[in-house]
Chains A and B, each alone.
Chain A
Amino acid sequence: MTTTVAPAPVASKPGRNGKPRTANLFKMLPLTPAIGLMLVFLAGPILYCIYAAFTNMALTGTGAANVTFVGLDNFRKAFGSGAFSNAIWLTLVFTLVSAIIGQNTLGLGLALLMRKSTKVVRNFVGTAVIGAWVLPEVVAAYLLSAFFNEEGTLNVMLHAVGLPGQDWLYAAPIIAVSLANIWRGTAFSMLVYSAALSEVPKEIEESAEMDGAGGWRRLVFVTLPMISRAIMTNLMLITLQTLSVFGLIYAMTRGGPGTKSQTLPLYMYEQAFSFSQIGYGTAIALVMLAIGAVFSLIYLRGLNSEAA
């Protein structure tokens, strides 16, 4: 089942755009290694996924001996299952809290504040935030497990100001992993926004200030519209990265306690490998791919209309 029906339409006629060097098939030849790899290891698995999602494929039991088509059974099972809707809900919370609100806002805030700060502070904060980002996923997970632990740094700080502590990974696992993902991922947004803000001409903001626009008004009506393209790109990339976070959550909570932090990737993993239900697991994978594809298309459209 490794049929790779070539979907990529290879240009057969040389296009002309007034340039002296127009493309022909031969010139496009250097693309073949990339296309080959992506067909086999990306398009192939996706097609395989579409096939397996409609079967009862399994690692053990009847589904292992003879694979049969079961139509929409896997999807019916998923949408009727409480564990699946729990996973969808948790994934939404995780993505909204950690990416769209957390990383995005904090990253933008950091980039804005850095423009007004002294060099020493800027370097210190930049290093700290990027340090958290460069750390390997699993190491970050251990650091934050320790941080949120009953005896961890967070509780020490809370006790110091007279607040009660608790084991955050048990009390509020999805919030804890969301905060962990903010800690780990904010650097990306910060970098994208720093780069975008550095290209906003100072004169425009200054003239808005002359016209009497205060800090917030200037930000909302002048600065943000000028970096809207960067905001779009950044939102797309971090949403999609967050949708597929696995290692961080797996190493911190394994989806638990119970299923209280079991987002879609962890649910999919559990069904496919712990419970050996490959067919059902790929059906969930297909749902995730569809969600990712929808997001990707929405943002691509956004980029296109911006460019036009």
Chain B
Amino acid sequence: MIARDRISKLASNLVLLAIGILFVLPLLWVLFASINRTAGLRVEFPTDPTLGNFKAVLNTDTTYRPVLNGIVLCGGAALLTMVCAVLAAYPLSRFKSRFNRPFLLTVLFCTGLPITAVMVPVYGLFVQLNLVDTLGGTIMFMATSSLPFAIWLTKTFMDGVPISLEEAAWVDGASNMRALKSIVLPLMWPGIAVVLIFTFIGMWGNFFVPFMLLLSPERLPASVSIFTFFGQYGEPNYGQLAAYSLIYTTPVLLLYLLLSRKLGGAFALGGAIKG
């Protein structure tokens, strides 16, 4: 019995390790290429490692401005999403109403709509409203597209905060918004942080929305401007592309680390989703 358990444990470990290695392999290329003077698509350990690729891309046009644009765009949109989601989740979580169930079902239904499909009409709408190539319009659309999911998650987290504390506050004459701000939010900030960070990570990687709605090079975020490496000039400089990819990825990696160290990691998200 014990021996069988050990064998099955060993087998699990080996299978897992093999899968893990398969997941790591594609990452090797970007690490090696970024410090390789003559990087191609071949994975090769650089014989003469250099930081030249990083130096070459660290300038305003290639890196600083797109990253800053990304921070403004995704940060603004994630904050807007979060404010709206918290406000919406509060009545949904706290008050019984005939309106809650249909609204939540609609929200759940909206999480299923393929945002990609909406992009052509959204572009049409943006042309009509004169919003094409504006950061404000793009922020509002990005916020809306992640709103259904954020409302759903926030409500799930908020349901976990016991209502009894607020009832005491209500008796003392606190308004709903005050109770939300000074009682509910402080108790659920880890949940808020989880939703906020995942919303941001999702937006940071999103390519299609800013690709469609923003046009001027000086407004493009990092997710779209990475495409300029494959310009009209044929073969891109793969070393620089790899270096840029690493720089562009760093913010979300840091955020993810923060999440997993302080907030129970993505498992909190999994727990909220699995319903």
Residues of A within 8 A of B (CB): 1-2, 8-11, 13-17, 19-23, 27-31, 33-35, 37-38, 40-42, 44-46, 48-49, 52, 57, 106, 110, 113-114, 116-118, 121-122, 124-125, 128-132, 134-139, 142-147, 149-153, 156-157, 183, 187, 191-196, 198, 215, 227, 229-230, 233-234, 236-237, 240, 243-247, 250-251, 265, 268-269, 272, 278, 281-282, 285-286, 288-289, 291-293, 295-297, 299-300, 303
Contacts and interface: CB of A to CB of B under 8 A. Distances in A.
Given A125-B20, A191-B269, A247-B207, A38 B147 contact: yes
Contacts of B125: 1-2, 41, 44-45, 48
B139 to A, nearest CB: 11
A16 to B, nearest CB: 7
Nearest to B25: A153
Interface in B180-218: 201, 204-208, 211
A137 B97 contact: no
Nearest to B21: A128
A131 B238 CA distance: 21
A139 B244 CA distance: 9
B110 interface: yes
Best-surrounded residue of A35, A114, A215, A291 (most CB of chain B within 10 A): A35
Given A8-B106, A243-B114, A244-B117, A28 B41 contact: no
B13 interface: yes
Given A38-B110, A187-B266, A282-B120, A14 B30 contact: no
Contact of A236 (B27, B112, B167): B112
6 contacts: A1-B125, A22-B96, A45-B121, A191-B266, A191-B270, A244-B116
Contact of B245 (A41, A132, A142): A142
Interface of B: 8-9, 12-13, 15-17, 19-21, 23-30, 33, 40-43, 83-85, 87-88, 90-92, 94-100, 102-103, 105-106, 108-125, 128-129, 140-141, 143-145, 147-148, 151, 167, 170, 176-177, 201, 204-208, 211, 222-223, 226-227, 238, 241-242, 245, 248-249, 252-253, 256, 266-267, 269-271, 273-275
A195 B91 contact: no
Nearest to A294: B112
Contact of A49 (B88, B118, B273): B118
B88 A34 contact: yes
A38 B91 contact: no
B273 to A, nearest CB: 5
A151 B42 contact: yes
A27 B114 contact: no
B87 A30 contact: yes
Identify whether the interface residues of A are mostly helix, strand, loop, or mixed.
helix
A190 B98 CA distance: 35
B204 A41 contact: no
Contact of B121 (A52, A145, A150, A300): A52
A102 to B, nearest CB: 12
Contacts of B249: 134-136, 139
Given A37-B147, A117-B9, A9 B102 contact: yes
A116 B8 contact: yes
B13 A118 contact: yes
B253 A153 contact: no
A164 B274 CA distance: 43
Contacts of A38: 110, 144, 147-148
Best-surrounded residue of A13, A20, A137 (most CB of chain B within 10 A): A137
A121 B16 contact: yes
Contacts of B21: 128
A11 B98 contact: yes
A49 B129 CA distance: 15
Given A41-B144, A143-B245, A152-B29, 7 more contacts: A33-B84, A38-B144, A45-B124, A49-B120, A129-B20, A130-B256, A281-B120
Nearest to B149: A237
A2 B115 CA distance: 18
Contacts of B97: 11, 14-15, 22-23, 28
A145 B41 contact: yes
A121 B20 contact: yes
A22 to B, nearest CB: 6
Contact of B177 (A30, A124, A230, A300): A30
Given A15-B97, A41-B144, A128 B256 contact: no
Q: Which 8 A-B pairs have the closest CB atoms?
A: A296-B112, A11-B99, A191-B270, A247-B207, A244-B114, A23-B97, A195-B270, A136-B205
A30 B110 contact: no
Nearest to B18: A125
A265 B118 CA distance: 10
Given A113-B16, A130-B256, A136 B121 contact: no
B223 A138 contact: yes
